[in-house]
Amino acid sequence: MRVMAQMAMVMNLDKCIGCHTCSVTCKQAWTNRTGTEYIWFNNVETRPGLGYPRTYEDQEKWKGGWELNKRGRLVLKGGGRFKKLFTIFSNPKLPSIGEYYEPWTYDYSTLTDAPAQEHTPVARPKSLISGKDMKIEWSANWDDDLGGSTATAHRDPMLKKIADKVKFEFEQTFMFYLPRICEHCLNPSCAASCPSGAIYKRVEDGIVLVDQDKCRGWRMCVSGCPYKKIYFNHKTGKAEKCTFCFPRIEVGLPTVCSETCVGRLRYIGLMLYDADKVLAAAATEDDHGLYEAQREVFLDPFDPDVMREAEKAGIARDWIEAAQRSPIYALINTYKVALPLHPEYRTMPMVWYIPPLSPVVDVVQETGEDAEDKGNLFAAIDALRIPIEYLAELFTAGDVGPVDAVLKKLAAMRCYMRDINMGRDPNGAIPAAVGMSEEEMYDMYRLLAIAKYDERYVIPAAHAEQAHSLEELATECSVSAYGGGQQDLFGEGSGAPTPIAVENFQMLQERQTADTLASPADKDKRVNLLNWDGKGSPAGLFPPKKTDS
């Protein structure tokens, strides 16, 4: 057993309203530079739909991820090392910019500089790639809310697999949103495809990063990733990818996309896994077995053996505790409602999804039946083959069994909680029908519906002692170390500017957001004149009166 820790995410798709806040805030934080205009580390796709980049899921075309060769061994679908080097001069499987979309801006100055004239001036779209006028024909989200899907959706690679059954008629459609970031896979094919070895997985938290100093622009990783979550910055000539907001994670904060998610549907936490089992699990013969195989790789953080091995492997105590409180572990292993996205790519993805019940609920509602009735919902789940087969193509390589089970759990939760919310006696038969106890069902409801910030995000901060060699810590030769009392002269705010670093982030944040004075102990001796409106004399404006002398 080789225990490793992995930062992971689960998204509850029922709650996604497709507002794209996550994409926008992520873009503002990470990809607002030239060369990254077309890059969305987080994107939200309407499904069914073509996705971004277009039809990225068609691995017969793009050859991303891993596959089993004839002898049952795990190999890169895009070809092994020799083939990669042989085709390095022109990558045969690189999506062109058109496959993502040609980024543009508008020629706003024609609006502001226009003289008085009869016709309103028009700001033309200008390509950010060629600088020329362009016609906008596609974007990262062109088929949002099924817009234009009658023309395009039949090219959805997942729909194609169940295609002959689907007619894209308005009354029969279903749709949901799929927010996507890099999966921070346990067996990342992006890293395996990188000729320079610039893409690495962090030992501490499993975050997959591109070393910008080692990347040489061979652009093989873009093809290697089946989720197309590596992007080529066309100005710097280097690959870039979702960082899982590692500077935030290191100080215990959730990623920007999670923090800003309007639906509060994202969960972040640790998973412990057995690194020795990853390759064998990824090489599971049957595609349908991959979901279970990956669950087998995860370790039970409550198991004393696992805890002992984890500590031996250098995983700190508070990290093990965080793994025990991990909402990810609960959703994946305890309640078994989260499923991996495209396990058949065999990269062992670590951003999992709770499939949406809404396509089912919507149909029941449209028929005028009670959409919170267990009988109705269960019957609909059994009857609505197309949405469910579609979900299965996304989350279980086409195996409808696990998807059925998850949806029934969600449906049962809906019915069970209705009774409670209406003040009726809870019906223990409902959880029992999906193999759960009443208590479990209620806990699952709490986690899915009302979990607070610190229950949704259980992120242990990185250890400062590990980071001791970080540059910011070179403050060891401070002024006071030379005997100068400078830092004490004017209180804690003086002295050399304190760099914001992993180690002091929490302290600085507390100080900035606290509504009390920094040191409550001597509160009565101090006052913040900037906050004083000139009226009265707040405590601390004058030194305390001497009572006896």
Query: Which residues sit at the interface with other proteins, rule CB under 8 A?
Result: 34-35, 81-82, 84-85, 87-92, 94, 96-97, 127, 129-132, 187-188, 191-192, 194-197, 199-204, 212-219, 232, 234-238, 250, 462, 466-467, 469-472, 499, 501
Per DSSP, the residues of 329-356 read HIIIIIS---EES-GGG-S---EEEE--
Q: Which is nearer to ligand HEM, 89 or 170 (CB)?
A: 89
Output b/e per residue, 382-413; b: 16+ Cβ within 10 A.
eebebbbbbbbbbbbbbbbebbbbbbbbbbbb
Report how far residue 263's alpha carbon sits from residue 266's, in angstroms, rounded to the nearest whole number.
8
C-alpha dihedral sign at 24, 26, 32, 38: negative
Q: Which does 225 bind (CB under 5 to 8 A by kind): other proteins, ligand HEM, ligand SF4, none?
A: ligand SF4
Question: What is the Cα–Cα distance from 208 to 230, expressed in whole angstroms?
Answer: 11
The count of chain residues that interact with ligand SF4, using the rule CB under 6 A, is 28
Distance (Å, whole) CA 132 – CA 107: 10
Report 211-240 residues binding ligand HEM (CB under 6 A).
218
**Residue 179 partner contact from ligand HEM, ligand SF4, other proteins, none using kind-dependent CB cut-offs of 5 to 8 Å:** ligand SF4
The CA-based angle 49-54-57, given to 5 degrees, is 80
Of 278, 283, 344, 224, the C-alpha closest to 69 is 283
Is residue 413 within 8 A of residue 437, CB to CB? The reply is no
DSSP 8-state symbol, 332: I
Least distance between other proteins and beta carbon 249 (Å): 11
Q: Is 267 exposed, middle or buried (0-12, 13-18, 19+ CB in 10 A)?
A: buried
Q: Measuring CA to CA, which residue among 279, 276, 280, 268 is closest to residue 299?
A: 276
Torsion on CA atoms 121, 124, 128, 134, rounded to nearest 10:
-160
Q: Quick one: tokens of 79?
A: 């070809």
For residue 62, state whether it binds ligand HEM (rule: CB under 6 A): no
Q: How far is the CB of 187 from other proteins (least distance, A)?
A: 7
Indicate which of ligand HEM, ligand SF4, other proteins, none lies near residue 235 (CB less than 5 to 8 Å, by partner kind): other proteins
Site size toward ligand HEM (CB under 6 A) is 3
Q: Which of 88, 262, 383, 496 binds ligand SF4 (CB under 6 A)?
A: 262
x/- mask, ligand SF4, residues 179-198, rule CB under 6 A, reads: x--xxxx--xxx--------
Distance in Å, CB of 62 to other proteins, minimum: 14
Q: Is 111 in the site for ligand HEM (CB under 6 A)?
A: no
Q: Please state, in angstroms and rounded to a whole number, the distance separating the CA atoms of residues 31 and 18.
A: 20
Query: Alpha carbon 519 to chain centroid distance?
Result: 37
Selected range binding ligand SF4 among 150-158, 257-265, 443-451, 500-508, rule: CB under 6 A: 257-265
Scanning residues 21 to 80, which ones bind ligand SF4 (CB under 6 A)?
21-22, 44
The DSSP call for residue 502 is T
Structure tokens at 522: 């001597």
227 binds ligand SF4 (CB under 6 A): yes
CB of 76 to ligand HEM, least distance (A): 18
Question: Which x/- pattern, by CB under 6 A, does the window 465-504 give for ligand HEM?
Answer: ----------------------------------------
Considering only 82, 89, 482, 490, the residue that binds ligand HEM (CB under 6 A) is 89
- Where along the sequence are the contacts to ligand SF4 (CB under 6 A)? 16-22, 44, 177, 179, 182-185, 188-190, 208, 225, 227, 229-230, 241, 261-263, 265, 347
Residue numbers of the site for ligand HEM (CB under 6 A)?
88-89, 218
